[in-house]
């Protein structure tokens, strides 16, 4: 399983496929303050990325993959601010 759901953190690891999008969205709805841990994440399917962008959760650990980190930082920048307002 590329995504492990803990109490307050969803841990995304490896390559997260399109199948994860729906469950992640569900979890983020149930846990509005839930965080995501992307440490071991290598790639997100665009659908998963889209869920993250829409829900704008806090990121507890950024991806080790610098390329991916760059993408996600910019992707979440806009929404994060909007969500906090």
Q: Which is nearer to another protein, 4 or 70 (CB)?
A: 70
Taking residues 17 to 46 in sequence order and writing x for each that binds another protein by CB under 8 A, - otherwise, the string is: xx--xx--x--xx------------xxxxx
- Note the maximum CA span of the chain: 34
Per the document, the length of the chain is 85
Using CB under 8 A as the criterion, which residues of the chain lie in contact with another protein when the complex forms?
14-15, 17-18, 21-22, 25, 28-29, 42-47, 49-51, 53-56, 64, 66-71, 73-75, 78-79, 82
């Amino acid at each position: 399983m590329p995504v492990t759901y803990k109490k307050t953190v969803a841990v995304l690891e490896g390559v997260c496929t399109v199948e994860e999008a729906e469950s992640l969205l569900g979890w983020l709805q149930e846990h509005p303050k839930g965080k995501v841990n992307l440490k071991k994440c290598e790639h997100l399917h665009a659908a998963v990325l889209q869920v993250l962008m829409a829900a704008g959760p806090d990121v507890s650990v950024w991806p080790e993959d610098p390329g991916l980190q760059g993408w996600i930082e910019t992707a979440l920048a806009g929404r994060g601010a909007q969500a906090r307002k």
